[in-house]
Amino acid sequence: MSTVLFLSGFNAPEIASKSYFFFDENAWNCKTIFYKSKTPTSPSMVEYELTKLNELITSEPTHVIGHSLGAWWVANLACRRMPEITRRDYHKMGKIVLWTPLGIASVFPFFRPASYQEPLNCQPNKEHIGHDKTMVVYAKNDLIVPYKPHALPLVDKFQAKSVALNGGHLWQTNHRIGFLAMQHWLGVD
């Protein structure tokens, strides 16, 4: 049975993140895990959090979905290199979905990752490259993380399947259609 891990956006209240428009727990036919994204405030904090996320999904194959800042974390995890000696502990991440993703956190002054930790500066692991392994869902009118500098470079980097939504970062007129398409693509509909 599949598991889906959802990483929320920046400071998104859990009640909003678990609503009909985001991670609607009642709409999944599999085990779900909700995880609140942390604010990347230093390179060491980013490494600590990536290790924590890696440990969270080593127990079973898990599809991972990230919204906004959550997508930044997911993309970073998909680029993470593990030393050969710990390869047996490497995460079992299945397909990944980057939903209205933040591609470069350092453009916002309150995020402080090192430049090498930006997903757009990293090379994804081959396990996450391809339209059958990564999906990027972007909003055509997103004013918070405009899709051209954030989502489209991630589509190229991951050679991802892409889905365009009508609307902005938090609400789209075809959100439910995009959500159902994502579930179908993940194979958990």
- Give the list of residues 6+ apart from residue 126 with CB closer than 8 angstroms, or none: none
Which residues, 6+ apart, have CB-to-CB distance to 144 below 8 Å?
Answer: 68, 100, 168, 169, 170
Q: Which residues contact 8 (CB under 8 A, 6 or more apart)?
A: 14, 17, 22, 23, 34, 35, 36, 37, 67, 69, 70
Query: CA-CA-CA-CA torsion for 138, 142, 145, 147, nearest 10 degrees?
Result: 50
Whether residue 90 is predicted with pLDDT greater than 70 in this model: the reply is: no
What domains lie within the chain, and their CATH numbers? 3-186 (3.40.50.1820)
- Three-state DSSP class for residue 62: strand
Q: Is the pLDDT of residue 83 over 70?
A: no
Mean pLDDT of 141-162: 96
> Are the C-beta atoms of 59 and 133 separated by less than 8 Å?
no
Q: Is the pLDDT of residue 59 over 80?
A: no
Radius of gyration of the chain (CA): 15
Distance CA 165, CA 74 (A): 20
* 99 bridge partner residues: 67, 137
Range scoring the smallest mean pLDDT among 66-70, 76-80, 84-88: 84-88
Check residue 159 and give its pLDDT. Answer: 98
pLDDT tens-digit profile of 111-122?
Answer: 999 998 999 999
Look up residue 75 and give its two tokens.
Answer: 């993309």
pLDDT of res. 84: 43
Q: Compare 54 and 92 and report the one with higher pLDDT.
A: 54
Residue-level pLDDT at 86: 53
Residue 89: its pLDDT value, please? 55
Confidence of residue 85 (pLDDT cuts 50, 70, 90): very low
Alpha-carbon span 133 to 25, nearest angstrom:
22
